[in-house]
Chains A and B, each alone.
Chain A
Amino acid sequence: MRKIIYILIGFLVIFSFFGCQKREKKELVIWHWMADRQKAFEELAKKYEEEHGLKVRFELFFPPEAYSQKIQAAAGAGDLPDLFGILGEKKIFASFIKGGYVEDLTPYLEENNGEWKKRFIKISLEFNEFKKNNPYGVKEGIYAIPIDMMSIQFLVNKKMLKEIGGEIPSTWQEFIALARKTKERGKWGFICGWGESWFIYCLVTNYAFNIMGKEKFFSTLKGEVPYTDPDWIRVFKLFKELKEADILFPGIVTLSNKEAEQFFAQEKALFSFNGSWGINTYFQINPDLEYDTLPPPPVNEKFPVSIWAGAGSSFVVNKNSPLKEEAIDFLKWLTQKEQQIFLIQHTHNLPAIKGCKDKLDKNLVKFLKNLECATHPRIWPINENPRVVEAINTGVQKILVGEAKPEEVAEEIEEVKREVVKEK
């Protein structure tokens, strides 16, 4: 008996040695976090190998938080792969660039009269661009290539809308009225994955643009306007209205994005607020779902309302990679029409390049609407400190569960803002 155990142990130890790193022949390694795309990526890799003879390996690290930790650790050890994505706000992107890990891709985009650059929808490239004199201290240029786009808009279930005899709302008041009507019929008015707090900030900024205009919004970020300003309180009051209208899906403040998508697909709510990536889930759960997109119904007409749109996922090129040229070639190939169409058919995400509109799923096209009022923190001249953003998100959640009044929340946020400004 003992001998068998010893042999087993020895066998397993030796076997575990086989997991050692082997020196592969030339191979392009790409790290990412997109669980829904690994299969599509692998097929593309195979195709590329057939066409160009270079092996490409996509490695998936999920969940996204673990992915962030992985690239942090790898950066510290100089172990980053040839191509990888960077999650998080622009500040993180900037620190990777300043650390010397990211290649400046502007020269490649500009060569041949800007042939590569011209392929892209403008806003998707702007997402990854650092302009002159940016507050991050990064040399101007474009540092990442988008492989798809996304936009975040309001959604409405067309079937349910017809049932209550309503039209697509063009003002906030109409929206609340319609949502209330749905509630009377036993379904809910509005659902969103507000357990993921950044989503709250998205809607807050969309309405901030509507109520006070871009300029005043950026002034607040600079610290020139306090969060206790009446315009800001009006923004927060909107969430109070949502709560008091009793149209919110139960437990909305702990719902994950995926859960909200599932329930919307199961037709439990009339309106939702989500990004174009949700199409995949909607399709999987309920292929017959009829829905349309609309911009957030504005509160007043003074300033336009905004939506967030920009690059969905982007890849950067590792500056220190021995296969840099090959990596850039691969990126160019990946953003060609044929490959982009393959990707969007597989993942139902918006393409990053122009000229694919006719190939898009009918629901996907709807997310291309309203791009005139598109914006995104990534292209803003200044970004709010994450601690203040956290305070805003927590504060709005408190309003949504009825724990605090908008004025109190505004006070708390302003307090955090003052602290942060002082620390500078």
Chain B
Amino acid sequence: MRYSLKEEIKNFSFVLPALSIFFFFYIIPFIYTFFLALHQGSGLSSLKFVGLENFKRILSPQGTAIIVIFIGGILVVFSFWFKKKIKNRFLKIVKTASIIMGIICIIYGIKELGEVLSSGWVIDKEWWASVGRSFYITLWALTFQNFLAFALALCVDKAIRTGYIYRAIFFLLPVISEIIFGLLIRSLLLPYPGVLAHFLKKLGLENLVRDWLNDPRYALTTLAFVHCWRGFGWGFVILLAGLQTIPQTLYEAARIDGAGAWQRFIKITLPLMLPVIVLVVILTILGTVQVIGLPMVLTRGGPAGKTTVSVLRIYNDLKNYHAGYASCEGIVLGIILITLSFTLIKISNRLKKV
């Protein structure tokens, strides 16, 4: 049923308020972020246009050149691919423009690559180290945090009478602000006055006592652990809800057919929970990579920078008036996240069909 233009406009108007606020408060700052990423300095008088310098520092000159070639290639390929389907004149212009831009990118990229191929490979190691740390914490979150959440959800699902009490309790932690929680935990974990150490000694677990926050070997893991402890509430709630959508009748039928508990879990629970699990995974990744309050309060970026995660690094750069570089880092991070999420969604769709 073809909608008339008037209909379409009326439909579109529903999304208009959201879109206008969004445009104003996100799109414009976002364009500005791109604009800033091509400059050095901050929003005062010291903005200096440097083109792709910031990207070169993050991705190394060779890397930048390769990526530029890559983008150029994609533009050209896609334009040609659309060749047959476009009859509209406007889109034809767009197509031609993108082919031209693609070719320019490729040429520029190859030229750059030639120039820098011989020079040393310089890359912002600190930045990628901080990205690595974010993903290290994310790994912990994906395993420890989500397994814990899942296990708890399974238990609470079965505990019919007392379930709602647990539901309320487990979600309490994410409710406290990150900063408050961080301050609380820091005062517990500090070697002096050593509250947790004191506690462990009393329990006779003295050999577990370490300098959790300040020893460079443990600081990051401690941070990951604290973050997981605080965050499992979200995963728990979502997974629990997902579990409760699975009709009991399926389980009944399986039990009648003689399937054991483990088999019921594998054949019924897991497949049906797959979309929920994927969602939780994506939300966990997005939420954990962007964590900033906890590292700031718990370890201030860590002994010798060991707990400086990516967003904290961006924030520090901003604080030092390097807004241009910070924006560039933000964009690179964003692209990594989008690619990850996209891939995960595609994989989950593929799995769904199975």
A and B touching (Cβ–Cβ under 8 A): yes
Nearest CB in chain B: distance from A342 CB, A: 32
A250: Cβ under 8 A from any B Cβ: yes
A96: Cβ under 8 A from any B Cβ: yes
Q: Is the CB of A250 within 8 A of B211?
A: yes
Q: Which residues of A contact B174 (CB under 8 A)?
A: none
B169: Cβ under 8 A from any A Cβ: no
Q: Is the CB of B319 within 8 A of A65?
A: yes
Quick one: which of B266-320 are within 8 Å of A by CB? Answer: 299-300, 302-305, 315, 318-320
A251-B213 contact, Cβ under 8 Å, with A88-B321, A397-B304, A397-B305: yes
Binary interface encoding of chain B residues 179-223 relative to chain A, with 1 for a CB under 8 A from any of its CBs, else 0: 000000000001110000000000000000001011110010000
**In the assembly, what is the distance between CA of A252 and CA of B215, in Å?**
11
A320: Cβ under 8 A from any B Cβ: no
Instruction: Kindly report which residue of chain B lies nearest to residue A195, judged by CB atoms.
Output: B300
Q: Is the CB of B300 within 8 A of A401?
A: no
The size bracket of the interface on A is 35 or more
Q: Is the CB of B304 within 8 A of A75?
A: no
Q: Is the CB of A253 within 8 A of B191?
A: no
Q: Is the CB of A72 within 8 A of B304?
A: no
The interface-forming segment of B10-18, B40-48, B82-90, B229-237 is B40-48
Binary interface encoding of chain A residues 311-326 relative to chain B, with 1 for a CB under 8 A from any of its CBs, else 0: 0000000000000000
Q: Which residues of A contact B211 (CB under 8 A)?
A: 250-251
Nearest CB in chain A: distance from B47 CB, A: 10
A281: Cβ under 8 A from any B Cβ: no
Q: Is the CB of B300 within 8 A of A254?
A: yes
Q: Is the CB of A76 within 8 A of B191?
A: no
Q: Is the CB of A254 within 8 A of B214?
A: yes
A397-B303 contact, Cβ under 8 Å, with A92-B321, A250-B211: yes
Q: Is the CB of A251 within 8 A of B45?
A: no
A171: Cβ under 8 A from any B Cβ: no
Quick one: which of A68-113 are within 8 Å of B by CB? Answer: 68-69, 72-73, 75-76, 88, 91-92, 95-96, 98-101
**In the assembly, what is the distance between CA of A254 and CA of B212, in Å?**
11
Q: Which residues of B contact A76 (CB under 8 A)?
A: 43-44
Q: Is the CB of A401 within 8 A of B305?
A: no
Q: Is the CB of A403 within 8 A of B304?
A: yes
**In the assembly, what is the distance between CA of A358 and CA of B216, in Å?**
48
A291: Cβ under 8 A from any B Cβ: no
B151: Cβ under 8 A from any A Cβ: no
Q: Which residues of A contact B45 (CB under 8 A)?
A: 95-96, 98-100
Binary interface encoding of chain A residues 34-73 relative to chain B, with 1 for a CB under 8 A from any of its CBs, else 0: 0000000000000000000000000000000100110011
Q: Which residues of A contact B97 (CB under 8 A)?
A: none
A190: Cβ under 8 A from any B Cβ: no
**In the assembly, what is the distance between CA of A397 and CA of B43, in Å?**
32
A348: Cβ under 8 A from any B Cβ: no
A251-B43 contact, Cβ under 8 Å, with A88-B320, A403-B304, A419-B122: no
Interface of B is mostly: loop
**In the assembly, what is the distance between CA of A386 and CA of B304, in Å?**
16
**In the assembly, what is the distance between CA of A114 and CA of B38, in Å?**
46
Interface of A is mostly: helix
Instruction: Kindly report which residue of chain B lies nearest to residue A409, judged by CB atoms.
Output: B304
Binary interface encoding of chain B residues 136-160 relative to chain A, with 1 for a CB under 8 A from any of its CBs, else 0: 0000000000000000000000000
Contact pick for A68, options B192, B303, B319, CB 8 Å: B319
Q: Is the CB of B44 within 8 A of A401?
A: no
**In the assembly, what is the distance between CA of A27 and CA of B95, in Å?**
58
Instruction: Kindly report which residue of chain B lies nearest to residue A386, judged by CB atoms.
Output: B320
A254-B44 contact, Cβ under 8 Å, with A88-B320, A263-B192: no
Q: Which residues of A contact B305 (CB under 8 A)?
A: 394, 397
A256: Cβ under 8 A from any B Cβ: yes
**In the assembly, what is the distance between CA of A96 and CA of B44, in Å?**
7
A366: Cβ under 8 A from any B Cβ: no
Instruction: Kindly report which residue of chain A lies nearest to residue B318, judged by CB atoms.
Output: A69
A32: Cβ under 8 A from any B Cβ: no
**In the assembly, what is the distance between CA of A256 and CA of B187, in Å?**
13
A217: Cβ under 8 A from any B Cβ: no
A95-B46 contact, Cβ under 8 Å, with A250-B192, A251-B191, A401-B214: yes
A394-B304 contact, Cβ under 8 Å, with A88-B320, A251-B211, A268-B192: yes
Q: Is the CB of A250 within 8 A of B318?
A: no
**In the assembly, what is the distance between CA of A394 and CA of B313, in Å?**
13
Q: Given contacts A65-B315, A386-B320, could you give 19 more A-B pairs where the C-beta distance is less than 8 Å?
A: A69-B319, A72-B44, A72-B321, A73-B43, A88-B320, A95-B41, A95-B46, A98-B46, A99-B45, A250-B192, A250-B214, A251-B190, A251-B192, A252-B214, A254-B299, A254-B300, A394-B304, A398-B304, A400-B304
Q: List 27 A-B contacts (CB under 8 A).
A: A68-B321, A72-B43, A73-B43, A75-B43, A76-B44, A92-B44, A92-B321, A95-B45, A95-B321, A96-B44, A96-B45, A98-B45, A99-B46, A100-B45, A196-B300, A249-B192, A250-B191, A250-B214, A251-B191, A251-B214, A394-B304, A397-B305, A398-B304, A401-B215, A401-B216, A401-B304, A419-B122
B interface residues (Cβ-Cβ under 8 A, vs A): 41-46, 122, 190-192, 211, 213-216, 219, 299-300, 302-305, 315, 318-321, 323
A interface residues (Cβ-Cβ under 8 A, vs B): 65, 68-69, 72-73, 75-76, 88, 91-92, 95-96, 98-101, 195-196, 249-254, 256, 263, 268, 386, 394-395, 397-398, 400-401, 403, 419
